[in-house]
Amino acid sequence: MRAATWAGVDEVSVETVPDPAILNDRDVILKVSRTTTCGSDLHLLGGYVPAMRAGDVLGHEFMGEVVEVGPGVRDRRVGDRVVVNSFIACGNCWYCRQELYSLCDNGNPNPGITEGLWGQSPGGCFGYSHAMGGFAGSHAEYVRVPYADVGSFVVPEEVGDDRALFASDAVSTGWMGADLAGTKPGDTVAVWGAGGVGQMAARAAMLLGAEQVVVIDRLTERLEQVRRHVGAEVVDYSTTDVMAELRERTGGRGPDVCIEAVGMEAHSTGVQGVYDQVKQQLRLQTDRPSAVREAIMACRKGGSVFVLGVFAGPVDKFPLGAAMNKGLTLRGAQVHGQRYMPRILGHMARGELTTEHLATHVMPLEDAPRGYRMFKDKEDGCVRAVFLPHG
């Protein structure tokens, strides 16, 4: 079959790879109908995530049709139209029983690398390096889905593909951030980053009852999408002092909840940004945390900061003093999507949650190298490049 693979730093190629097969009883094989790029893939392309090998199939946000079912699968049938969560979880271990699915003890068959990095290993993820399990990704004609009863969800008939697709990762991640940050009715929520994840965190916060939601970015097309499709307020950080603006809009108090949806390659206009970039490029720090710093500084006393953006290792100039003295709750996670996808599909079916606007560029899988380039450079307003493996 054809698949888009990692071919080295900033290189994606499309090649012929072996078809996947059922390896375990609880696997299904999915014929991929749609698969899309995520900001997390940019960290892979940039070479910031360890243990990628040339030839690894990329992609973790996808949907498709079940074409083969392992003997241990209970609830999926050949022909089911499903959307699959990006993280792989068994459904039975202690973490899965707490609904902390991305921390599954059985999702990553290769835990040694992340145990070395972080003390313990989270679960596995499709197409996300050998550190995260070495699973083949979804930018392919077919993909093996382990623990399919736990990670795949039948899409209601009334939800179209360009809506359902994003329940896989962007929406479930955004929803998790808004929920686990403790968003309550009446809250003010600020979100850094207007990519797919940040936009969906903002929408989730609204559906959870937040009274005021503000999204911060510098890309005008994305800020325009936030206004039109999400219905939140916006701040352009390239022309506005974010701290002062947030204080101003919240009667001097600051947001109750701050969600960071930018990650380790954050852009920064100040001296600190140059410092971070140089240190990251010299491999003296692995990540550029400018949006996390700003979220901690802007958050109201006693508020909550949730880090959705992906980070890999130690960071510098981390305002621990502000977090401690302001009594903040600081939390982060990879997506526990299995916990939210049924509710998300319900909101999608009722038209309360729309995502079609994120699919700015739809193309055949053969064009994946071009799609990745556009997504990385945010060319032509690209928010997500969606690939169609079967035309």
The site for Zn ion (CB under 5 A) is made up of 38, 40, 89-90, 93, 96, 104, 106, 169
CB nearer to ligand NAD: give 66 or 223: 223
User: Positive or negative, the Cα torsion across 126, 127, 129, 134?
Assistant: positive
4 binds ligand NAD (CB under 6 A): no
Q: Which of residues 179-218 bind ligand NAD (CB under 6 A)?
A: 192-198, 216-218
357 binds ligand NAD (CB under 6 A): no
CB nearer to Zn ion: give 82 or 235: 82
Task: Find the shortest distance in angstroms from Cβ 288 to Zn ion.
Answer: 18
Task: Find the shortest distance in angstroms from Cβ 217 to ligand NAD.
Answer: 5
CB nearer to ligand NAD: give 146 or 309: 309
Q: Give the one residue of 26, 34, 43, 339 binding ligand NAD; rule: CB under 6 A.
A: 43
Task: Give a three-class secondary structure readout of the chain.
Answer: CEEEEEEECCEEEEEECCCCCCCCCCCEEEEEEEEECCHHHHHHHCCCCCCCCCCCECCCEEEEEEEEECCCCCCCCCCCEEEECCEECCCCCHHHHCCCHHHCCCCCCCCHHHHHHHCCCCCEEECCCHHHCCECCCCECEEEECCHHHHEEECCCCCCHHHHHHHHCHHHHHHHHHHHCCCCCCCEEEEECCCHHHHHHHHHHHHCCCCEEEEEECCHHHHHHHHHHHCCEEEECCCCCHHHHHHHHCCCCCCCEEEECCCCECCCCCHHHHHHHHHHHCCCCCCECHHHHHHHHHCCCCCEEEECCCCCCCCCCCCHHHHHHCCCEEEECCCCHHHCHHHHHHHHHCCCCCCHHHCCEEEEHHHHHHHHHHHHHCHHHCCCEEEECCC
Task: Find the shortest distance in angstroms from Cβ 74 to Zn ion.
Answer: 16
Question: For ligand NAD, which stretch binds (CB under 6 A), given 7-15, 34-42, 74-82, 89-97?
Answer: 34-42
291 binds ligand NAD (CB under 6 A): yes
Q: Give the one residue of 12, 164, 206, 266 binding ligand NAD; rule: CB under 6 A.
A: 266
CB nearer to ligand NAD: give 169 or 179: 169
Question: For ligand NAD, which stretch binds (CB under 6 A), given 14-22, 68-76, 107-115, 255-263?
Answer: 255-263
Task: Find the shortest distance in angstroms from Cβ 374 to ligand NAD.
Answer: 11
339 binds ligand NAD (CB under 6 A): no
- The item of ligand NAD, Zn ion, none sharing an interface with residue 12, based on CB under 5 to 8 Å by kind, is none
Question: For ligand NAD, which stretch binds (CB under 6 A), given 77-85, 144-152, 259-267, 360-368?
Answer: 259-267
CB 367 within 8 A of CB 176: no
Task: Find the shortest distance in angstroms from Cβ 363 to ligand NAD.
Answer: 17
Question: For ligand NAD, which stretch binds (CB under 6 A), given 17-25, 130-138, 261-269, 322-330?
Answer: 261-269
CB nearer to ligand NAD: give 124 or 196: 196
Q: Which of residues 360-379 bind ligand NAD (CB under 6 A)?
A: none
CB nearer to ligand NAD: give 128 or 142: 128
Q: Which of residues 91-130 bind ligand NAD (CB under 6 A)?
A: none
Strands 152-154 and 188-192 turn out to be unpaired
- Amino acid letter, residue 15: E
CB nearer to ligand NAD: give 66 or 208: 208
Distances in whole angstroms, Cα of residue 118 to Cα of each of 9, 49, 121, 145: 24, 13, 7, 26
139 binds ligand NAD (CB under 6 A): no
